[in-house]
Amino acid sequence: MPLATSPAGYLLVLAIVLPVSGMVLSFVLGGRHAERIALATAPFGLAIAIAIAAEVLKTGQPITYIVGGWSPPLGIALRADGFSAVMLVTSALVLPAAMLYARAYFATPATMREKRAPFAFWTLMQGLAAALAVVFTGGDLFTLYVALELLTFAAVPLVCLDGRAETLEAALRYLLFALLGSILYLLGVGLIYGRFGVLDIALLAERTRALDGDTRALLVAGALMTAGLAAKTALFPLHLWLPPAHANAPAPASAVLSALVVKGSFFLAVRLWFDVMPTLASTAAMTVLGALGCGAILFGSVMALRQERLKLLIAYSTVAQIGYLFLVFPLASGAGAWTAVGWTGGIMQVLAHALAKSGMFLAAGLVAEAVGHDRISGLRGVGRSMPVTLLAFGLGGVSLMGLPPSGGFLAKWWLLLASVQSGQWAWCLVVLAGGLLAGGYVFRVVAPAIAGEPLVLAKPVARGREVVALLLALGAIALGVAPDGLLELIRIGRGG
What is the chain's alpha carbon radius of gyration, rounded to the nearest angstrom? 22
Q: How far apart are CA 468 and CA 224, in angstroms?
A: 40
pLDDT truncated to tens, each residue of the chain (496 aa)? 446 888 888 999 999 999 999 999 988 887 678 888 999 999 999 999 999 999 999 999 999 999 888 888 888 999 999 999 999 999 999 999 999 999 888 877 666 667 778 888 999 999 999 999 999 999 899 999 999 999 999 999 999 888 788 889 999 999 999 999 999 999 999 999 988 888 999 888 888 887 766 778 888 999 999 999 999 999 999 999 999 999 888 999 999 999 999 999 999 999 999 988 877 766 788 899 999 999 999 999 999 999 999 999 999 999 999 999 999 999 988 777 788 899 999 999 999 999 999 999 999 999 999 998 889 988 898 888 899 999 999 999 999 999 989 999 999 999 999 999 988 888 999 999 999 999 999 999 999 999 878 888 888 888 899 999 999 999 999 998 888 888 899 988 875 4
Q: How far apart are CA 79 and CA 63, in angstroms?
A: 6
**Neighbouring residues of 490: CB distance < 8 A, sequence distance ≥ 6:** 82, 83, 86, 343, 344, 347, 348
DSSP string for residues in 417-442: HHHHHHT-HHHHHHHHHHHHHHHHHH
Residue 46: alpha-carbon gap to chain centroid: 17
Other Cβ atoms closer than 10 A to 250: 23
**Neighbouring residues of 286: CB distance < 8 A, sequence distance ≥ 6:** 273, 329, 330, 333
Task: Provide φ and ψ at 205, rounded to 5°.
Answer: -60, -40
DSSP string for residues in 96-143: HHHHHHHHHHH---TTS---HHHHHHHHHHHHHHHHHHHHHHB-BHHH
Question: Which of 83, 162, 68 shows the shortest CA–CA distance to 116?
Answer: 162
Is the distance from CB of 362 to CB of 465 less than 8 angstroms? Answer: yes
Residue/partner pairs of 368-371 with CB below 8 Å, 24 or more apart: 368/251, 368/310, 368/311, 369/251, 369/459, 369/461, 370/457, 370/458, 370/459, 370/460, 370/461, 371/455, 371/457, 371/458
| Terminal CA-CA length for the chain | 8
Please tell me whether the overall predicted TM-score, pTM, comes out greater than 0.85 for this model.
yes
Q: Give bridge partners of residue 80 from the DSSP assignment.
A: 63
Q: How far apart are CA 312 and CA 307, in angstroms?
A: 6
Per-residue pLDDT of 193-245, as tens digits, reads: 988 888 999 888 888 887 766 778 888 999 999 999 999 999 999 999 999 99
Q: How far apart are CA 7 and CA 64, in angstroms?
A: 9
Is the distance from CB of 457 to CB of 385 less than 8 angstroms? Answer: yes
